[in-house]
Amino acid sequence: MHDIAIDCHDLSKRYRLGDGEPYRALRDTIASAWRRGDREAAQDARHIWAVRDLSVQIRTGEIVGIIGRNGAGKSAFLRILSRITEPTSGYADIHGAIGSLLEVGTGFHPELTGRDNIFLNGSILGMPMAQIRRRFDEIVAFSEIERFIDTPVKKYSSGMYVRLAFAVAAHLDTEILLVDEVLAVGDAAFQRKCLGKIQDVCSTGRTVLFVSHSMAAVASLCTRALYMSAGRVLLDSDVPTAIGAYLNDTMPSSVAFESRTPNVEIARIAMKAAGPGRYLVPLAPTTLAIDFVARRAIPDLSFRIAIDSADGTRLMAIDSWVSATGARCNAGDAGSLAVEFDALPLNPGRYRLRVWAHSFLTDIWDEVPDVYPIEVYEAVTPLYREFEPHTHGPLAARVTVTTTAAAGVPLS
């Protein structure tokens, strides 16, 4: 077996920035034949490098995660490797059969039955017919839609549709597999099953390139990670280091906004973990800072901070007047509020922070209409490994559980 599976040299891909219509009308081509000179000059400004001078070697059997913001060039990179589009310059050598899953259910036809679509989709993904036939029962079993296999897929629920689509995709077994964000399908239980399936695939010595926004998935699957930004690989390292670098860059250090509240203006909200990494992880020491400006004189300004789950359920509220006296402010005074959590009691997920300004003496109750979104990540990097919580659900805790039984007393 060749030691190197994918070998990229200065791979670059330039796209023309769309001027509305990606395709041209015949008259534009005819017209532009006259002013070729102008076009050359304008060309540089109207192009964007989706992938720029990317050189990387992937060894056989490596599971490589590709992370980065939207538009960082991750998908463009996979599109080049899967031969959907050609690079503008540079080259890549692929050693071995390559398959790509850039989407689940490519080519599914709504009028065809589940059975027909398994064959059609499998064939589109590059599976030989004999292989589809051999693994057909396995695919159907994985999708959990045995009863509806002869029903047109247009009658499927969206959950059934993606389960079937993923089931086909999961049975593609080429030596090199390019996977783009296809795990984010179905409900939580099915996603776990998909992750397990991908894990099986990864453990069979296959080479996998895996683009994902789920740091947890990357951390649990990959042996190496590429952190991409603006078409380049910023960091090519072990998974925790790359994830740590990416999350730190992603964390907004603060959010500045006009709060549109009558009495107190909230100028800035920042929430970050104390210590070297700034992104939020469960149970890590965390600080929340709010900068405000009083619009009028307030003798006892205090705040309520609330954290809601993404669906709006109140998880906790902190009233500053319970533990501290209010701040005395004159009109125009700037001040700040700091809240320190010994251990952030939130499990990985998205939450919403809400703020109210309050004064008993002047009877103020200003609600900041904007919510500040916060995201808590999994403690997957070495910096934060110690903060792995013991609980499921939104609330994080470190708990000690002991089970005791009286010796010699049988269950009756």
Partner 1 sequence: MEPATAIRPVPVLRIEASAGWRALRLAEIWAYRELLFFLVWRDIKVRYKHTVLGAGWAIVQPLFTMVVFTVFFGRLARMPSDGVPYPVFSYAALVPWTQFATGLAQSANSLVGGAHLVRKVYFPRVLLPLGEVTASLIDLLPALAVLVALMLFYGIAPSARCLALPVFLLVSVTTCLGAGLWLAALNVEYRDVRYLLPFMVQFWLFATPVAYPSSLLSPAWRVVYGVNPMASVVDGFRWSLLGAPPPPLAMFAVSAVTATALLISGLFYFRRVERTFADTL
**Quick one: which of 86, 102, 72, 89 has its CA closest to 226?**
72
User: Binding of partner 1 at residue 19 (CB under 8 A)?
Assistant: no
- Asked if 237 contacts 225 with a C-beta cutoff of 8 angstroms, the reply is yes
Subset of residues 198 to 227 that bind partner 1, contact rule: CB under 8 A: 205
**Quick one: which of 78, 37, 36, 32 has its CA closest to 54?**
78
Minimum CB–partner distance for residue 205 and partner 1 (Å)? 6
Candidates 22-30, 227-235, 251-259, 308-316 — which segment interacts with partner 1 by CB under 8 A? Answer: 22-30
Candidates 88-96, 136-144, 258-266, 385-393 — which segment interacts with partner 1 by CB under 8 A? Answer: 88-96
Nearer to partner 1, 2 or 398 (CB): 2
# of chain residues touching partner 1 (CB under 8 A)? 49
How many Å apart are CA 49 and CA 29, to the nearest integer? 24
> What backbone phi and psi angles, to 5 degrees, belong to 411?
-70, 135
Strands 286-294 and 334-341: antiparallel
User: Binding of partner 1 at residue 335 (CB under 8 A)?
Assistant: no
Q: Which residues, 6 or more positions from 81, have their beta carbon under 8 angstroms from its beta carbon?
A: 6, 92, 94, 98, 100, 178, 209
User: Binding of partner 1 at residue 31 (CB under 8 A)?
Assistant: no
Minimum CB–partner distance for residue 148 and partner 1 (Å)? 18
- Asked if 213 contacts 42 with a C-beta cutoff of 8 angstroms, the reply is no
CA dihedral 95→98→100→106, nearest 10 degrees, is 150
x/- string (CB under 8 A) for partner 1, residues 97-126?
xx-x-xx--xx-x-xx---x--xx--xxxx
Nearer to partner 1, 97 or 361 (CB): 97
- For partner 1, which residue of 58, 66, 80, 251 counts as binding (CB under 8 A)? 80
Q: Which residues, 6 or more positions from 280, have their beta carbon under 8 angstroms from its beta carbon?
A: 251, 271, 272, 273, 286, 344, 346, 374, 375, 376, 377
Q: How many CB atoms lie within 10 A of CB 263?
A: 19
User: Binding of partner 1 at residue 171 (CB under 8 A)?
Assistant: no
User: Binding of partner 1 at residue 87 (CB under 8 A)?
Assistant: yes
Nearer to partner 1, 110 or 299 (CB): 110
- Asked if 212 contacts 181 with a C-beta cutoff of 8 angstroms, the reply is yes
Give the tokens for residue 248.
């730190």
x/- string (CB under 8 A) for partner 1, residues 124-163?
xxx-xx----------------------------------
Give the tokens for residue 42.
């304008």
Strands 255-256 and 176-180: unpaired
User: Binding of partner 1 at residue 37 (CB under 8 A)?
Assistant: no
- For partner 1, which residue of 32, 38, 42, 91 counts as binding (CB under 8 A)? 91
User: Binding of partner 1 at residue 86 (CB under 8 A)?
Assistant: yes
Nearer to partner 1, 12 or 320 (CB): 12
Minimum CB–partner distance for residue 216 and partner 1 (Å)? 26
DSSP letters, 277-290, are: --SB-TTS-EEEEE
Minimum CB–partner distance for residue 61 and partner 1 (Å)? 8
Indicate the SS3 state at residue 243.
helix
Minimum CB–partner distance for residue 60 and partner 1 (Å)? 8
How many Å apart are CA 96 and CA 104, to the nearest integer? 23
Q: What does the binding site for partner 1 look like in residue numbers (CB under 8 A)?
A: 1-3, 15, 22-26, 29, 60, 79-98, 100, 102-103, 106-107, 109, 111-112, 116, 119-120, 123-126, 128-129, 205
